[in-house]
Amino acid sequence: MAEMEVAIVGVEKRLWSGQASFVSARTVEGDIGLLPGHQPMIAALDEAGVVRIDPTDGEAFHAAVFGGFLSVTAESVTILAELAELASEIDVAAARDELQRAEGGGDDVDDTAAAAARARARLRAAGENPGH
């Protein structure tokens, strides 16, 4: 099976890197699936989104990615994000709290909307259903 070099790199550290056969992510223009041999591309990701990676060895997993973009060449996919969390690292309870607080509303509409989007992305990445 064809494979490509995939890395998720956060500002503070490299979260994950390895061989993978498939990557899916949501860019600002829509969902995108990447297979090895893709045309070189640079794409901005959703401000708060979920990335799915199918490694060649092991189970597919998700990661929540904030303020990221991805760079694709024929052999590699690099996801760069200001903040990224692997599904296994996400604290579901905290994200639920966060979502509830954000949906409860606050003074700053922009801020709460962004917080809610972040919390939803976390929950989606962790395989939970954030509702609407």
Which x/- pattern, by CB under 8 A, does the window 41-60 give for another protein?
xxxx----------------
* Residue tagged 């990676």 (tokens): 53
Report the residue from 19, 24, 56, 71 that binds another protein according to the rule CB under 8 A: 71
Q: How many CA atoms lie within 13 A of 87 on its CB side?
A: 15
Other Cβ atoms less than 10 A from the Cβ of 94: the count is 11
Stretch that binds another protein, among 58-66, 69-77, 100-108, 114-122 (CB under 8 A): 69-77
Stretch that binds another protein, among 52-60, 63-71, 88-96, 124-132 (CB under 8 A): 63-71
Stretch that binds another protein, among 7-15, 93-101, 115-123, 124-132 (CB under 8 A): 7-15
Q: Which is nearer to another protein, 13 or 132 (by Cβ)?
A: 13
How far separated are the first and last CA of the chain, in Å rounded? 37
Other Cβ atoms less than 10 A from the Cβ of 4: the count is 21
Q: Which is nearer to another protein, 33 or 127 (by Cβ)?
A: 33
The token pair at 109 is: 């509409």
Amino acid identity, position 65: V
Query: For residue 120, what are the contacts with CB-CB under 8 A and spacing of at least 6?
Result: 48, 99, 130
Residues 89-128 that bind another protein (CB under 8 A): none
Q: Which residues would be at the binding site for another protein (CB under 8 A)?
A: 7, 9-14, 27-29, 32, 39-44, 67, 69, 71, 73-74, 78, 80, 82
